[in-house]
Amino acid sequence: MVVTRRRPARTPNTRRAAIALTALIGRKMDELMSNAERDRTKKALVGRVVKAYTVDKKKEVMDISFTTFVIQ
């Protein structure tokens, strides 16, 4: 996953670092096999990340790009 940021990253705290995991935990493999479901998951994840990394009404994260998506 690549996170596009406007300025250099600060040291992440555990709440921020757990955002991606909480978006995917509990999801069934069948749900994530379709492109449409992965797109919905990404959209939800982007919303959470942007919210967590908005400081003083300034968005530090603009988008997320999945370079690979591996399901085990």
Domain boundaries, the chain: 2-65
- Find all residues with CB under 8 Å of 18, minimum gap 6, and list them: none
pLDDT at position 70: 77
Q: Which residues pair with 54 in a beta bridge?
A: 59
With cut-offs at 50, 70 and 90, classify the pLDDT of residue 63.
confident
Q: What pLDDT does 4 receive? A: 58
Give long-range contacts, CB 8 A cutoff, 24+ apart: 21-30.
Answer: 22/48, 23/48, 29/71
The answer to whether the CB of 20 falls within 8 A of the CB of 65 is no
Stretch among 32-36, 44-48, 67-71 having the lowest mean pLDDT: 67-71
Which pTM does this prediction carry? Answer: 0.64
